[in-house]
Structure 1
């Protein structure tokens, strides 16, 4: 007779706590399919161009579950309930990090513009000119979005490209400009 999956998960978590070297691999094999389904459900509510993939979510959640295996889990249901909570937290943390990276970039450029010193204005102009030599369309996207206040849809219409291309150009251009203006490039998130 096959062992109850709930008991198996509980005993594997105990084995991980006890330091058994293969316990984490065995647990992963035992729960992978369910974690994959759960990750897909969590990702359904996210935007289509999300930088996290379901497999990233599974791996990060599993690592956190294994690191936190000190708590007593009452079987399979408790394990998957905790896994779902952890996946949600990962997605929230990811969104916060992405928002912070955008805010840092926008603050760096806005700060340079607000001070409006001739040197800063020249620096930004020179950086945009260098970008235009590398990729004219990206430079135009920056000008229209940051300086002109156009939306991604409006820029796409003006340039005759898709909104997705505008988003990609904006991401690449802002990372490049941020580095040029002395900052660190934003995450790929």
Structure 2
């Protein structure tokens, strides 16, 4: 993209959205299993490094454009981290053992398995790319429904329908229900 009056450099954009991305990273990492070593600041910095490339030549059309790309980067980092932790080479098949009797034995599992979510989103993107893009922006970039709708140039009503459909489709996919899903 060529630099124009409405575009913003990666360096300028990160200063505008850093706090928002940091808050979002903390929310996503709170859903991870106990023993998570990735910190919100590190997640945001890694995402920025992936987005910036040659910072002098990358420009963004809008905050939404940047947040959409940041959502993809954050998703990929979380998935890579989850896969790395599960690898046998790194002891991914080992179970954490409780050392103290006075602490609960069964710690709660994360709300969502990030790898299963990634696989389901990948399938959704093949079947319904516009829905997957909206879900990704809402879930990984923390955009509001009206902001995501505006950024994707769709009506708020369409965005609401896509969001309801996307959540139901992902829930069905992640629960292992292989029946066909009708958009009705």
- TM-score over 0.5 for the alignment? no
Indicate the structure whose relative CO is greater, using CA pairs within 8 Å and at least 6 residues apart.
2
Structure with bigger helix share is 1
Q: Under a length normalisation based on structure 1, what TM-score does the superposition of the two structures give?
A: 0.42
Specify the structure having the higher radius of gyration (Cα): 1
Q: Under a length normalisation based on structure 2, what TM-score does the superposition of the two structures give?
A: 0.43
